[in-house]
Amino acid sequence: MKKILSLEPSQAAIGEILNFIETTTLTVLEHQTVFIHLMKTYYALEAYPIVLEKGIDYHSKLILDENNPDLEKLYELIYLSAMALEKYDIAYGYIGHRRRVLPVTKQYLAALDLIEFKKKTNQNYTEDIEKLLTDNLPDKTRLSLLKALLVVYLKQGHANKAITLIDDLKRLDYEQSYIPLYLKTLLSLQNFDEAKKVASQYREDKRYAMDAFMALLKIYIHENDRHRLAILDGDFNERLDDQPLEFKEEAYRLFAQYYQSIKIQYLHESYEKKHKAVLRELKKVKKVQETTSDDDASGIQVTDHQVSIDTPSVRSKQNIYHLDAIIELTSYAHQIDYNKNYREFLRLFFIRASEFVEVSDFIVFTKEDDMLYHYKKERLYDKALVKETYEQTIIAEMLIDGQERFGTPETMTYQKNILTGKPVDDAFKYYYSFALYDLGVFVVYMQDEISDPGTYYDLFKGIATIIYASFKDEERLKKLRSDNNFYENIFKSDIIQMRIMEPHHSNYNVASQKLLQVDSHLPYELFLRNLGVHEVKNYEQTIQRMFQKPGQMDVITYVYLDKQIREKMISIAHKETIYIISIFDDITYIYDEKAKLIEEATVDFETSLLNLNALHHNFENYIKDKGSFLMISFNESILPIYGSDTALKFFKEFGQRSQKFFEEGTVYRYNTYLLFVYIPINDIRSVTRLLKDYIKYLNATESVVISYEKFEPKIAVIRYPVVTEEKLPSKIFRYLELSLDYLKRTNPDDEFIFFEHSIYENEVFEQQVINYLNQAIETNQLSLSFEQIIDLNRQVIWQYESDLILENIAVDSKYLHVIAKKRNRLQALEHHHIKMVCEFLSTLEKETEKLIKITIPVSKDTFNDIHFNPYVFGLFKTYGIPFEFIRFKIYGDNLKINQHLNQMKELTDVGIGLDTTSVEAALSYPFNALHLSLKGHDDKWYQYIQSMQTLLNHHQMACIIKDVKTNDQRSKLQSLGITYIQGQMYQPITADRLYLKIKENVSHET
C-alpha cells in the first residue's frame, strides 16, 4: 500500500490504484486512505466531475463520520471540485461537513473555505475575516488574512480601519510585503508626511521601489513640489518603461495632468502622448484577450502573422522617443551636482546619453581654452590643443561658418581625424557635428551606417543645445566660484578674527583659532565653558536674540580664558537659516593699560581727593617730619536708609568739606567710607584744638546731599613720632583702624581718640588668645569648671553650672566669650563646651553609675542657629546622656521667643530644661528658671527680687540670684524667701575634683 500512496498523479496511477482496490483485501481504514489518495489524484488531473460524483457517493455510504478526522481531506476535495464546477450549493454544504470533522485547533480551515466561497459568490465576507482574526491562528494564516482584510477595507473606503491593521502586519510580515498596501492606506488617509517618510525609505528597495515611486508621485503633486517631482521623474523614467501597462497608464496620466495644471506645455504634451499610447496598447491587449477567449472557446488556434509597418509610423515613434530622451537628459543635466568640475559633468552626462543612443564617440571642443573633451565607453579624455593641430579639421571649419554638418567620412571637407591627427579611417561610419554658437563644437561619431540623417538629427541637436546651456551655466558657476573663493579667502585671511555660526554649527577662521585657542569647528557649549562664569548667561541671551531674526547687530565684551575679548556680531539670513557673523578683537592691552593707569593714578575719580596710591608715595616724607595722622569715618548709619548711591554722594561732600577745612594738611580717600588726613603738627593741645574746630565746623553746616543729616565724624589720631616711631605704612594704618574700632565700641559718645600702644597690645593679646582657643578646641586642651547653685532651704548643692577655662592663660571666662564673639568663634566655643559636658557625664556614669544635673550657658546667637537642636540631639545620642540631666541657660537680651517656639518645644518635649537671664523672655515663655544678678544693696532692689520670686513661684519657675559675694547678702536673700543663689562665696570646682568627690561619695555609700 505504501507504493500505491507514493504514486504521482497520472492516468497510469489511477489504473494502478483502482486495480489495487479491486484485487486487495483492505480494512475499512486502509480502504478509506487509498480512496482519498485516488480522489487527490483525480483532483490533480482536474477531473472535478469524477471527484464530485465518487466523493459524494462515498460520503453517502458512511454510517458515522464524527470521530474520523481523516475525512476532512475528502470533504475539502469535494468542496474544491464543486467550486471549480461552480456548483456552489454542494460546495457550501461540504464546508459544514468539513468543519464538523476538523479538530478544534483546525476549525479555522473551514472558516477560510467559507471566506473563499463568499468571495467567489460576491458576498460580503468582511465580518468573517474580522471574526476569524480573533481566534488563535498560525502566523502565516493570520498574515494572509490581515492583508486580505486590508485590501477589503481599502476597496470599501475604510482607510481609518485599514490603518489599525498595520501594527500587526509589521509584527508578522518579515518580508514587508504589506508596504504597497500601507502606502495606499496612508494616501487614503491623506497622511502625506508619514507616506513620504515610508516611501522615501523604500525608494531604493528593488521590491517596492515602484510602489514608493507612485506614492511619492502623488505626494509631490499634492504638495506642488516641482523640484522633487523633476528628480523623481529623472530617477524612475527608465524603470517606468518596464512596468505593467496599468501602472504606466496611471503614472503618465498623473504626470500629464500635473504639468497641464502648472502650464508646462511641452512636458504635458509629452506625457499626454505617452498616456494615449499606453491606453491604445491596453485596448489592444483587451481585444487580444477577448479574441483569445473566443478562440479558446471554439477550439481554434491563432497563428501570429508578420505585419508590415510603414516608415512614417516608425519615424513618428522615433521622434517621440527622442523628444522624451531630450527632456530626460535636460532634467538630468540639471541634477548633476554643480560642485563637480566640467570634465566630470560631461562624463556623467554622456554616460546617461549613451543609454538612449549607441555612438562611437562624443566630442566637445571649447573655443575659449582650446580644450578637447572625448567620450568613449564610459571614459572621458581631455587635452588642450594647439591651434595648428585642428586648423584643417571639421573643428576649425565649424568655428568659422557655424554650419551644422552630417554624413559619411567621405563627405568631410578635411579628411583629418581630430582624435588621432591621422586621415579618417573606418573608425566610424557616420558623423553629426553642431556649432555651439560661438563657444565651441559638438561632434558625434556613429558606428552604424545611417541612411536617413533625420533619424538622429533631432536627438543630437537637442544634446548640443543642452551642452551649450551647460557652457553658459559653467560660465556663471565660474563667476560664482570666483566670488565664493574671494569671500572664502577673506574669511581665511589673518587680517580679521572671524566666526560664522549656525544654530548647530560654528566655523572659526585661522586667525580666530589662534586668538581663542580653539579648533575650527569648536562646539558652542565648549566655547561657553571658557567664558567667565558670570558672563555665560548674558552671552547665551545675546546669541538667542540674534538667532531670532536677521539684521540685528550687537557688541559684547567678556573675558575668554585670560583675554579681554570684544565681539562684534551681526545676524544674516541665507535661505531659511540665520547665521551670526562675529568678529573678535583682543582688547586685553586696553584693560592692562587702564589697570596700569588706575594703579599709578594719584587722584580718586569719584571724590577728586588724593587716593591711597598718592598716600603711599608721600608717606616716606611724612615719617621724616613731625606731624599727626588722622583716620576719619563719617555717619555710616545712613547707608541702609538712603542706599549706596546717595551715601557715596554724602561721603564725597564730607571729603570735600574736610579738604576745605584742613588747609595746612592733606586729605586722602583711604577706602570707600574712610578718610586719611596728615597734618604737620603733633602738639597734643594744638591737635586737640584743631579737631574740636573741625567737628564744630562740620556740625555747623547743613549737608547739601541729605538735609538734616549730620556727618558725625569719628577720628583716630596718631601723633608722630610721639606715640610710635613705626615706619611701615601698613602698621600705622593698622594702629589707626584699631583705635577707630576701639572708639566706636568702648566710647561711642566720644568724637576722637588718641592712639595708645595698649590698644594695639590688647588687639595682639586677643589674637593670641583666640589662636590659643582655636588650638585648644582642636586638641581638647580646654577644661571644665563648675559653679555651685545652692539650695538655701536645704543647704545642699541644687545644680552645677558648667564653664570653660584656659588653664595656661589667666583669662576670665566672660572675657574669653567676649573675645570669641568678637572673632566669630563663639558658636564653635559653645558647641565644644556642650560636647565636653557630655563627655564628662558619660565618663562619670561609666565610672560611678551616677549622674548630676548640669546647667550649660548658651548665648542667644548659638541657640538661635538652626543647627543647634540637631547638634545637641546628635551628641546626646552619641554619648548616651539622658535628656533630663541637662539644662541650657540662654543668656542675652531681646530673645525673640515667638520665632523659636518650635525649637524650644522640641527640646522641652524630650526633657531638656531651659533657663534664661532675660526677664522679658521669662514672662513670655514657661522657662524652668530665671537667673538674676544681684546688682545693688538698695531696698528697692531687694523688693524687686522679692516680687520676682513671688511671681515666678506662682508660675512654677525657679528664681536664681547670681553674684552673691557675702554672708550678709545671703542672709538678706534668705529672709526674702529666695531659695537658690550662686556667687563667689561658693568657689567653683574643676571637673577632676568634682569627679573625685562624687566617686569618693559613692565609695562611702557602698
- pLDDT digit string, tens, across residues 691-740: 999 999 998 888 888 888 888 899 999 999 988 888 999 999 999 998 99
Kindly report, residue by residue over 820-829, the tens digit of the pLDDT.
Answer: 887 788 898 8
pLDDT digits over 240-278, tens only? 888 888 888 888 888 888 888 888 887 888 888 888 888
Provide CATH 3.20.20.450 ranges for the chain: 766-1005
Taking residues 925-932, what's their average pLDDT?
92
- Domain 2-234, CATH among 3.40.50.2300, 1.25.40.10, 1.10.8.290, 1.10.10.60: 1.25.40.10
pLDDT of residue 298: 34
pLDDT digits (tens, 9 = 90+) for 745-788: 888 889 999 998 888 887 777 777 777 777 777 777 788 999 99
Q: Which of 812, 801, 879, 804 is nearest to 839 (CA)?
A: 879
- Whether the pLDDT of residue 926 is over 80: the answer is yes
- pLDDT at position 312 is 36
- When pLDDT is cut at 50, 70 and 90, the band that residue 64 belongs to is low
CATH number of 601-753: 3.30.70.270
Exposure b/e, 698-719, CB count within 10 A at least 16 = b: beeeebebbeebebbbbbbbbb
CA atoms within 13 A on the CB side of 724: 23
Q: What mean pLDDT do residues 99-106 have?
A: 84
Cα distance between residue 871 and residue 869, in whole Å: 5
Alpha carbon 818 to chain centroid, angstroms: 55
State the chain's mean pLDDT as an integer.
Answer: 85
Domain 766-1005 has CATH 3.20.20.450: yes
Q: 990-999 pLDDT, tens per residue?
A: 988 999 998 8
What pLDDT shows up at residue 833? 92
Can you give the pLDDT at residue 245?
86
Residue 302: its pLDDT value, please? 28
Highest mean pLDDT out of 35-44, 289-298, 304-313, 896-905:
35-44
Residue 934, all three cell numbers: 544681684
Q: How far apart are CA 705 and CA 848, in angstroms?
A: 72
User: Would you state the cell numbers that stand for residue 753, as one nine-digit string?
Assistant: 581718640
> Sorting pLDDT into bands at 50, 70 and 90, what band is 546?
very high
More confident residue, 546 or 68: 546
Cα–Cα nearest to 365, from 439, 445, 474: 439
Kindly report, as residue ranges, where domains of CATH 3.30.450.40 are found in the chain: 334-483
| In this structure, CATH architecture of domain 493-591 | 2-Layer Sandwich (3.30)
- DSSP characters over 726-744: ---HHHHHHHHHHHHHHHH
785: which 3 cell numbers? 569648671
Question: Residue 524 and residue 502: Cα distance in Å, rounded?
Answer: 10
Round to whole Å and give the CA distance between 726 and 722: 11
Q: Are 106 and 138 in contact (CB under 8 A)?
A: no
Lowest mean pLDDT among 5-19, 297-311, 430-444, 793-807: 297-311
Q: Where in the chain is the domain with CATH 3.30.70.270?
A: 601-753
From residue 905, alpha-carbon distances to 486, 538, 898, 900, 927 in Å are 81, 48, 11, 9, 11
Confidence band, pLDDT 50/70/90 cuts, at residue 338: confident
Are 125 and 119 a contacting pair, CB within 8 Å?
yes
pLDDT of 558: 93
CA distance 312 to 465: 26
Predicted local confidence at residue 63, as pLDDT = 62
**Has domain 334-483 been given CATH number 3.30.450.20?**
no
Domain(s) labelled CATH 1.25.40.10 in the chain stretch across 2-234
36-57 confidence digits (pLDDT tens): 888 888 889 888 999 898 888 8
Distances (CA, A) of 959 to 149, 376, 937, 950: 97, 120, 18, 9
637 exposure class (CB count in 10 Å sphere: 0-12, 13-18, 19+): exposed
Cβ(36)–Cβ(73) below 8 Å: yes
Amino acid identity, position 773: L
Give the bridge partners for 577, in sequence order.
574
pLDDT at residue number 133: 83
pLDDT tens-digit series, residues 120-141? 888 888 888 888 888 888 888 8
Beta pairing partners, 416: 423
When pLDDT is averaged across residues 811-840 and rounded to a whole number, the result is 84
Q: What is the pLDDT of residues 649-691, one digit of tens each?
A: 999 999 999 999 998 899 999 988 999 999 999 999 999 999 9
> Looking at the chain, which residues constitute the CATH 3.30.450.20 domain(s)?
493-591
* Percent of the chain at pLDDT exceeding 90: 31
Helix axes 209-223, 245-261, angle to 10 degrees: 20
d(CA 990, CA 999): 14
pLDDT band at 305 (very low <50, low <70, confident <90, very high): very low
Reported as a pLDDT band with limits 50, 70 and 90, residue 886 is: very high
pLDDT band at 300 (very low <50, low <70, confident <90, very high): very low
Judged by average pLDDT, the poorest of 516-520, 540-544, 642-646, 718-722 is: 642-646
CA 398 to chain centre: 65
- Rounded to an integer, the average pLDDT of 356-372 is 91
Residues paired with residue 444 on neighbouring β-strands, in sequence order: 362, 432
Note the pLDDT tens digit of each residue in 434-444: 999 889 999 99
Task: Say how far apart CA 989 and CA 47 lie, in whole Å.
Answer: 128
pLDDT digits (tens, 9 = 90+) for 432-487: 999 998 899 999 998 888 877 778 888 999 999 999 998 888 888 888 888 888 87
Torsion of CA 405, 407, 410, 412, to 10 degrees: 0
pLDDT of residue 1006: 62
Q: CA geometry: angle at 254 spanning 253 and 258, to 5°?
A: 115
Peptide bond into 244 cis (omega under 30): no
Q: Find, among 367, 333, 372, the residue nearest to 350 by Cα.
A: 333
Q: What confidence score (pLDDT) does residue 234 get? A: 78
Closest Cα partner for 176 from 198, 149, 200, 153? Answer: 198
Q: What is the mean pLDDT of residues 601-625?
A: 87
Predicted pLDDT at 375:
93
pLDDT category of residue 299 using cuts at 50, 70 and 90: very low
